[in-house]
Structure 1
Amino acid sequence: MTQKIHTFLMFQNDDAEEAMNFYVSLFDDAKVVAVAHYGPGEPGTEGTVKHATFMLAGQEYMAIDSSVKHEFGFTPSMSLYVGCGSEEEIERLYGALLDGGKPLMPLDSYGFSTRFGWVNDRFGVSWQLNLP
């Protein structure tokens, strides 16, 4: 078996499926690969995500709704970095991800990039968007 590294997103508020479908709607070459839900008598809330895989721009991600509530969540020190191909794309993605979220760095020129923005989306996942 060949080693493969995946980004694994653990959601605390039973919103893994909503987040995954939202992310898939934002990117080209994106799709839900598989979703398994908790059933009756299992440790998670029935109908929430036990395990899911999805693709964004050829990269595979995993997601779950945690059946155990933890004292931690997502942090901006780990973020998804997106290289954008146009001004329209970075504006669209930044606006969509910011809806219900929190700006960490507004879209602007910061010297290291022509256009850059950093946002925590409404699910708490951190995204850096760059237009070189």
Structure 2
Amino acid sequence: MTLSLIPYIITNGNGKEAVKFYQEALGAELSNFQTYGDLPDSPDFKVPEEMKDLVLHAQLRIENSELMISDNSPGEPFEVGSNLTIAIVLDDKAKAEKIYERLQADGEAIMPLQSTDWSEAYGQVTDKFGVKWQISVENSNNN
């Protein structure tokens, strides 16, 4: 079952400023906020010092809607126009796999669907129309 489709804004190192701006402009409530420095230590990924204060993930609630925000990683290209993605949040890994496969047909896999600290299955794909999607299965302990 698809739980929601959520606009996801990618910022260029000014994610904290964007979170504050959208909170005030939209009267939004901050429901989740993590920096890269909040990630647990991992031998697979050492967070560089310059990334620790950047926004890994912020989630704002605006009445019955949500908006997500994160900073791009240093060194990743940032292009205005491609800094808005759509996040699909699901509660079924098999459905996430099907959606991921269908969206990448004639498109491009950006990040393979995989287990992460925040999701049992998370991946990114750009579809054949150039739309970037983030597919995520909500962990039962995140509810």
TM-score after normalising by structure 1 = 0.47
Q: Which has the higher contact order (CA 8 A, sep 6+)?
A: 2
Structure with the higher helix share, 1 or 2: 2
Q: Which has the larger radius of gyration?
A: 1
Structure with the largest fraction of strand: 2
Given the two structures, how large is their TM-score scaled by the length of structure 2? 0.44
